[in-house]
Chain A
Amino acid sequence: MSEIENFLAMDGHGAFVWPAYGFAFLVLGVLLLWSLRELRSHERSLHKLRPQDPDAA
């Protein structure tokens, strides 16, 4: 078995370790993207309402 396969297999626990890390970064990623999108959309709305506002993008 190659070294990479060995690493991915995690001594037989790969089926538990990798989903755990995958899910962790899925959750963190979703929270990050969602929060950023919300901020962008609010910045755009504010820009439409009052372009000179310093908080508007």
Chain B
Amino acid sequence: MFRYTKATALREVLVWAFALLTLLPFYFLVINALKPDEELLTTGSSTPPSRPTVENFTEVLTATGDSNILLGLLHSAVITVGSIAGLVAFGSLAAYVLARTTARWGSVAFYLFLVAIVLPTQLGLIPLYIGARQLGLVGSLWGMIVLYVGTLMPLAVFLYAGFFRNLPRDYEEAAALDGAGPARVFFRVVLPLMAPATGTVAILAGLIVWNDFFSALIFLGGSDNQTLPVSMYYYVGSLVSAWNKIFAIVLISMVPILAFYLFAQKRFIQGFAGGIK
């Protein structure tokens, strides 16, 4: 049985207070997303709407053209899923080779990947853009996937390599003696054991891609393939910004992530906590 003492009661109150504090932005998000246009400028941003409405949601969801949110959502999803797939496929293979090779170039290559994590992406954006334009990758979903797989590869390799180094070689050796060639060893034995690493890469890279505004704006702005953050940007004007619409879109963009989190939570937490036994 749990009994409150003064100390535990105080601790609980503090924890609750902190939890409420972190929920504060969410409160602003919700009340402003429910505000009708006429209340937007007449009331303060912390005042709840006197007449809550969902018309912001219906409006942004039915918009067409550059501000088509549903299409943006679809593009975001395609790019995110495609990038994760590419990162898992290539990142795990690259990291496996780097973690297992005893050759000198292995560690050199690994440190190059580390350097790439430290350098800001924006630094290479202009040459990347020029290269992508020459290859006809600007403005296409494919191009975006290639771009993200490339720029996030160091992160994926770094994460995977750490996991691979901790994987006992026994499994690979056992599989080889069982008659498996290198490809089968990797895909049937090693990669399935790397589920926690794959989960980590998918979550970290997925969030970066899903939330990315800057590269998406540069590479996709004005094209037919805009992602959700870029489409949202059309509600930010130079004179007036439709914050109630924007907040509605932010809420919409959170839905897939939350759904995914609820779905995957149990598995991933297990993976992170349990590791490989």
Q: Decide whether A and B are members of one complex.
A: no
